[in-house]
Amino acid sequence: MKKLINSTDTILTEALDGFVATHSDILSLGDEYKFVRRKTLKPGKVALVSGGGSGHEPLQSGFVGHGMLDASCPGQVFTSPTPDQMLAAAENVNTGAGVLYIVLNYEGDVMNFEMAAEMTSGKVLSVITDDDVAVEKSTYSTGRRGVAGTMIVEKIIGAAAEEGRDLEALHALGKDVNARTRSMGVALTSCTVPAAGKPTFTLGDDEMEMGVGIHGEPGRRRVKLASADDIAAEMTGAILSDMSLKSGAPVLLLVNGFGGTPGMELYLMANSVRKILGGRGITVARSLVGNYVTSLEMAGCSITLTALNDESLLLWDAPVKTPALSW
């Protein structure tokens, strides 16, 4: 294992110290490293709180700031944060309008956020993201996994929260955006969890894992490496077969890197997907390419499509200032 670390025991706390210090203009660190929060809260706004295992950076703490999350709870690498982290975060950033938890659909995350919600004072609701079309059940999940589409849900809800919408309206909006979002990933290599010291799984030089999860969970099938166009065609086809898009329908396209794939290859994949969508009469109204929901150093990517309407397009375009997303 070759990694830039001092100790597997301190990798998370040292990384959080560096992260928050780098973005000290917009972030602050909670006691005992329980959460990362917006430095300046907006009174009367519904508090948006998320979290999950580390190793997916910039998800989630990279999306804390104006126009997105108010707080994020980082667990150990690929490990759910604890209910006391979530409770501490919610109590710290709730200014009186209630708390909306945004939870990726993994059993540990869902269970711990449910426990936190029961203990959180005031009004609390949760949105569970489950955008992965690859499999219906996986290593850590019952039902579809929450993956890169989560950041789209957070961006759109975050903009609506800045407008002053109430908790029930944000909850309904989050569920709607999640329902209109689909993703699928492919891995060219495995990743190595620092505490394990060895790859999560092995792939031959000529193999790829189609439909891989963001923790290295198995996908639909292991197949021979193919061209970018062929990979994009299979992934996009699987996504579109699960959506009801009419010709001319506007979508948001996210091509997300898993941490070990060069930007050149991600943009090449984006080009391949655009050609496929164009051939089906689907309009890419907005797009984003880069490493946003990663899996440590895994090589590969995911494709996410969100069916847009006028409201979600305006909310996507609304100003945002976080470490990972800013316009």
Of all residues in the chain, what percent carry a pLDDT higher than 90? Answer: 94
Whether residue 43 has pLDDT greater than 90: yes
Range in 57-71, 208-222, 297-311 the model is least confident about: 208-222
The angle subtended at Cα 125 by Cα 156 and Cα 158, nearest 5°, is 20
pLDDT computed for residue 138 by the predictor: 64
Work out whether strand 181-187 and strand 207-210 pair parallel, antiparallel, or are unpaired. Answer: antiparallel
**Given 23, 56, 66, 171, the catalytic residue:** 56
* pTM of the shown model: 0.96
- Tell me, yes or no, if 171 is annotated catalytic: no
Q: Is 215 a catalytic residue?
A: yes
Instruction: Check whether 218 has a pLDDT greater than 90.
Output: no
- Give the mean pLDDT of the chain: 96
For residue 39, the model assigns a pLDDT of 97
Active-site entry in 23, 66, 171, 215: 215
Domain locations in the chain as residue ranges: 11-179, 181-309
Higher pLDDT pick, 221 / 28 = 28
Summarize pLDDT for 254-312 with one digit per residue, the tens: 999 999 999 999 999 999 999 999 999 999 999 999 999 999 999 999 999 999 999 99
| Closest CA relative to residue 27, chosen from 47, 49, 35, 257 | 35
- Give pLDDT tens digits for 72-105: 999 999 999 999 999 999 999 999 999 999 999 9
With a cut of 80, say whether residue 154 has pLDDT above it: yes
The residue type of 319 is P
Tokens 């809800």, located at residue: 157
Q: What is the pLDDT of residue 135?
A: 81
Q: What would be the CATH architecture of the domain defined by 11-179?
A: 3-Layer(aba) Sandwich (3.40)
- Of 77 and 218, which is predicted with more confidence? 77
The CATH classification of domain 181-309, taken from the options 1.20.140.10, 3.40.47.10, 3.40.50.1580, 3.30.1180.20:
3.30.1180.20
- How far is CA 193 from its chain centroid? 19
- HEC string of the chain equals CCCCCCCCCCHHHHHHHHHHHHCCCCEEECHHHCCEEECCCCCCCCEEEEEEEECCCCCCHHHECECCECEEEEEEECCCCCHHHHHHHHHHHCCCCCEEEEEECCHHHHHHHHHHHHHCCCCEEEEEECCECCCCEECCEECCCCCCHHHHHHHHHHHHHHCCCCHHHHHHHHHHHHHCEEEEEEECCCCECCCCCCECCCCCCCEEEECCCCCCCCCCEEEECCCHHHHHHHHHHHHHCCCCCCCCCEEEEEEEECECCCHHHHHHHHHHHHHHHHHCCCEEEEEEEECCCCCCCECEEEEEEEECCHHHHHHHHCCCECCCCEC
b/e sequence 57-86, b meaning 16+ C-beta within 10 Å? bbbbbbbbbbbbbbbbbbbbbbbbbbbebb
Residue from 148, 94, 151, 154 nearest 121 by CA: 94
